[in-house]
Amino acid sequence: MSELKWLERRALKVLQGGDMPLYLFTLAAEEIDLVADVARIGRDEAGRLIGYQRPEKQKHVKQIQEYLDSEDPLFPNGLILALPPEVRWKSSRGPSTSDGLAVSGTLEIPIAADVDGPRPAWIVDGQQRSLALARTKNRRLPVPVAGFVAPTLELQREQFLRVNTVQPLPTGLVTELLPEIARVPSARMATRQLPSALVDMLNQDSESPFQGIIRRASTASDDKKSTFVTDTSLIEAIRESIESPSGVLFPYRNIATGTTDTEGIRRALIAYWGAVHDVFHDAWARPATESRLMHGVGIRAMGRLMDRVMTHVRDDDPNARSAAEAELTLIVSHCAWTEGSWEALGLAWNDLQNTPRHISALSNFLVRTYLAERTQRQ
């Protein structure tokens, strides 16, 4: 960093394990905006994920600000900051500077001399609070801060997921961040890490029928009109196939060695969903209000049908997509993705909802119909 000035604060240094200290200190409300910034989730021009924070909730921020502007606010809800490696720590002198749990001292944070310069720290938790603090009239309100040095974006993302487990983050935001970190905070999240990475691949691969039409947390507002599939439904469809012993994607994982044939999974997914695109072309890439194939219920049900269809198709076959297409033609006359009704289910085409009951009913119908038609063909 060049042309720096240093913000000095009395602080406590806490070692909770390992070699990553936690610093506890205080900033004035007006200083938050000088020290820390929000890493909004998005995609760069190359399609790489950047940031990790969800969009601003204006109503929530306004409510916090109104309280901060009141006469005697008590604001114990602090912020968690990812600090730059350049921070400097000086322990206080004397025998009473430590109680065995924390050490008192001085923390120095480098900030740009220019108020419009880059912020040295990133907000890991408390972005809505930080926005309200930056706008409050109570400019010198002391704000409790916990900071840790995070030299990498991966570490920031990992801590962001860990500290947001009490009040769950949006599922789409969590699943999109998971492939970007090495140490997943929980076993439940770990089951979605590989499926999320595969959905990311499907959204960017030029051979994928899903290219550019999957809506993720990072999808820009202007691009949402051209996205038709929510990532959560597709992630869950892939997760089921990978985790279930009866799933067609299950054999691609070697549980003994912990390895996964991701290229084989890629070929299978592109072959199958490419065939779905070809067979039901009129129902593809349309809003869910116009096509239940693009709806969560359609994606989940067709995902379960994949486990049956792709047992008859080799993913390494150059004609795998055509082979899958031949299998799917068996159910075409029984489907009502955009009009008519699902007579066997007693539902109009647009009455299907993304609920467990409708997902199970539609899945069961599609699998039964496919097996029955295949038996007759033989």
User: How is the chain split into domains, by residue range?
Assistant: 4-163, 205-377
pLDDT band at 57 (very low <50, low <70, confident <90, very high): low
Helix/strand/coil percent split, the chain, to 5: 45, 20, 35
Q: Report which DSSP code applies to 228.
A: -
CB 295 within 8 A of CB 352: yes
Q: Which residues of 6-18 are buried (b: 16+ CB within 10 A; e: fewer)?
A: ebebebbbeeeee
Structure confidence at residue 322 (pLDDT)? 97
The residues that bridge with 162 in the sheet, in sequence order, are: none
Full strand arrangement of the beta sheet holding 79-83: 36-37, 121-125, 79-83, 142-149, 22-28, 4-14, 102-112, 88-91
- 220 pLDDT more than 60: yes
- 211 pLDDT more than 70: yes
Structure confidence at residue 176 (pLDDT)? 53
- The pLDDT of 191-220, averaged and rounded, is 86
Q: Is 88 exposed, middle or buried (0-12, 13-18, 19+ CB in 10 A)?
A: exposed
- The pLDDT of 236-250, averaged and rounded, is 92
- 50 pLDDT more than 60: no
Pick from 38-52, 126-140, 293-307: least confident:
38-52
Using one digit for the tens of pLDDT, what is the confidence trace for 336-357? 999 999 999 999 999 999 999 9
Structure confidence at residue 193 (pLDDT)? 77
d(CA 9, CA 105): 9
d(CA 69, CA 62): 10
Q: Is the dihedral of CA 29, 31, 33, 38 positive or negative?
A: negative
Two structure tokens written together for 42 = 């998005």
